[in-house]
Amino acid sequence: MSDKEIGTEETFPVLPSKNKGKGKAIPTKHDKEHLPWVEKYRPHTLSDLISLEYITSTLDKFIKERQFPHLLFYGPPGTGKTSTILACAKRLFGKDWNSSVMELNASDERGIDMVREDIKGFASTRKLFSTGSEFKLVILDEADGLTNIAQNALRRIVEDYAKNVRFCFICNNVQRLNPALQSRCTRFRFRPLKQDQIRSRIEEIAMAENVNITEDGIQALLKLCGGDMRRVLNILQSCSSRDVIDETVIYNCTGYPHPKDMERIMNSLANDEFSIAYSKIKIFMENLSMSLNDIITEVVNYFKIHEFPLSGETMAYFFRNLRLIEHNLNTGGNNTTQLAALIGAYKNALKKADK
Ligand SMILES: Nc1ncnc2c1ncn2[C@@H]1O[C@H](COP(=O)(O)OP(=O)(O)OP(=O)(O)O)[C@@H](O)[C@H]1O
Ligand SMILES: [Mg+2]
């Protein structure tokens, strides 16, 4: 195996790029026109990934030094976990990387049979042709969904087949992965992507797609997405037919409460009598297609930036109630009943504070 075959970016063709040579693969408007933007702008090489310098440079070193360990990637959605391992696979195995990689995700069966039959079968066969690397790769995406029995069986397989196969476990919630399995892997924690780097990416994509996004539009997008690049791309694409994408377009398109609407909702909660607050907020929600879950998130955010109007103890009482309302909503609770519960909880908190 030559140094060229492993440890260089040349084994996989990069997409045509306005920024070719600057490390960013940005296809133009006419490339892959029909693809959703999350796929169209999926990074293909490690250097295309933004905001993951430490992780990509360490993986780059592993590949160059031919010391590729079992990996565990964990962290919030849309931060590049799947894209990173796919970029590694393309780099390790070249153009025909597919034949050296087994990719399993939540839509596949996650139990012991899958481990015994599929993974063991793939792991126990050696590679027939050299693709620049002597091992194969099993990617277990959404590994936190594997059953306990399957995880236990994998402990053994990971060790027994280490000569032929490297494993990459990917999950959002690392607590749900067997500690013994975790300890067999080199762990990488993915964090929400940095806002300034997401901003540059938004600007590049907006230019490539000929989309006009204003500064307050970018700010709203950054705020709503909280470091999740998939969400950024999905929102941007769904607004892309508009002549100008500003803050209002972004909030309308996502159905997320606009800061000005939130201000009105907070005023009504604090100052209106129960039945008036109830009907006002209900009309707001209906006219602007807001979900109560989003309103609750924004009520909490509101108190993060405004001074607490009540004592710590009373706010804790209010937040405990919010948690209960959120739980009820997520388990099928009715929107209007839970709206009444929200207003009741706030009014009760105010009453408690007056005593
Ligand atoms: N670090 C990044 N740099 C550039 N684009 C990114 C990055 N992370 C995510 N993206 C964009 O978001 C999309 C989704 O990324 P990816 O599938 O890698 O996320 P993930 O971390 O695996 O999410 P999940 O936990 O939901 O599976 C990609 O197609 C890509 O367009
Ligand atoms: Mg993923």
pLDDT for 232 equals 98
Do 250 and 266 fall into the same domain?
no
Atom of ligand 1 nearest to the CA of 83: 18
Ligand 1 close to Cβ of residue 230 (< 6 A): yes
Domain boundary among 254, 270, 302: 254
Which residues fall within 8 angstroms of residue 19, CB to CB, at 6 or more apart?
Answer: 25, 26, 204
> Residue 261 in contact with residue 232, Cβ under 8 Å?
no
Do 183 and 205 fall into the same domain?
no
Average pLDDT value for the chain: 86
Question: pLDDT for 236-249, tens place per residue?
Answer: 999 999 999 999 99
Do 17 and 159 fall into the same domain?
yes
Ligand 1 close to Cβ of residue 83 (< 6 A): yes
Torsion, Cα of 114, 118, 122, 123 (10° steps): 30
**Residues having C-beta closer than 5 Å to ion ligand 2:** 82
Q: What percent of the chain has pLDDT over 70?
A: 86
Do 309 and 331 fall into the same domain?
yes
Report pTM. 0.82
Centroid of ligand 2 to alpha carbon of 82 (angstroms): 4
Residue 180 binned pLDDT confidence (cut-offs 50, 70, 90): very high
Instruction: Ligand 1 pocket test: pick from 39, 40, 42 the residue with the most ligand atoms within 8 Å of its Cβ.
Output: 42
Do 331 and 212 fall into the same domain?
no
Domain boundary among 236, 254, 272: 254
Ligand 1 close to Cβ of residue 229 (< 6 A): yes
Ligand 1 close to Cβ of residue 227 (< 6 A): no
Phi/psi for 19 (5° steps) reads -105, 25
Do 232 and 297 fall into the same domain?
no
How far apart CA 269 and CA 276 sit, in angstroms, is 9
pLDDT exceeds 50 at position 207: yes
Centroid of ligand 2 to alpha carbon of 81 (angstroms): 6
User: Domain residues for 161?
Assistant: 9-189
Q: Does residue 4 form part of some domain?
A: no
Do 268 and 219 fall into the same domain?
no
Q: Which ligand is nearest to the CA of 38?
A: 1
Ligand 1 close to Cβ of residue 193 (< 6 A): yes
Comparing 329 with 162, the larger pLDDT belongs to 329
Question: pLDDT for 3-49, tens place per residue?
Answer: 333 333 333 333 333 333 333 555 554 555 678 999 999 999 999 99
Do 276 and 348 fall into the same domain?
yes
pLDDT for 255 equals 84
Report DSSP state, residue 191: -
Q: Among 62-66, 107-111, 194-198, 202-206, which is the least confidently predicted range?
A: 107-111
Question: pLDDT for 128-150, tens place per residue?
Answer: 555 566 799 999 999 988 888 88
Question: pLDDT for 61-118, tens place per residue?
Answer: 999 998 999 999 999 999 999 999 999 999 999 988 998 999 987 666 767 777 778 8
Do 171 and 226 fall into the same domain?
no
Strands 101-104 and 71-74: unpaired
CATH number at residue 270: 1.20.272.10
Residue 266 binned pLDDT confidence (cut-offs 50, 70, 90): very high
Centroid of ligand 2 to alpha carbon of 141 (angstroms): 6
Do 25 and 151 fall into the same domain?
yes
Q: Does residue 3 form part of some domain?
A: no
Q: Does residue 2 form part of some domain?
A: no
Report DSSP state, residue 15: P
How far apart CA 166 and CA 136 sit, in angstroms, is 6
Do 39 and 95 fall into the same domain?
yes
Quick one: average pLDDT of 43-56?
A: 96
Ligand 1 close to Cβ of residue 154 (< 6 A): no
Bridge partners for 328 per DSSP = none
How far apart CA 336 and CA 292 sit, in angstroms, is 9
Do 314 and 206 fall into the same domain?
no
Domain boundary among 254, 271, 303: 254
pLDDT for 128 equals 55
Number of structural domains the chain divides into: 3
Centroid of ligand 1 to alpha carbon of 82 (angstroms): 7
> Among all chains, which residue has been given the structure tokens 């599929």?
118
Atom of ligand 1 nearest to the CA of 51: 1
Q: What percent of the chain has pLDDT over 90?
A: 61
pLDDT for 19 equals 38
Residue 308 binned pLDDT confidence (cut-offs 50, 70, 90): low
Centroid of ligand 1 to alpha carbon of 41 (angstroms): 9
CATH number at residue 212: 1.10.8.60
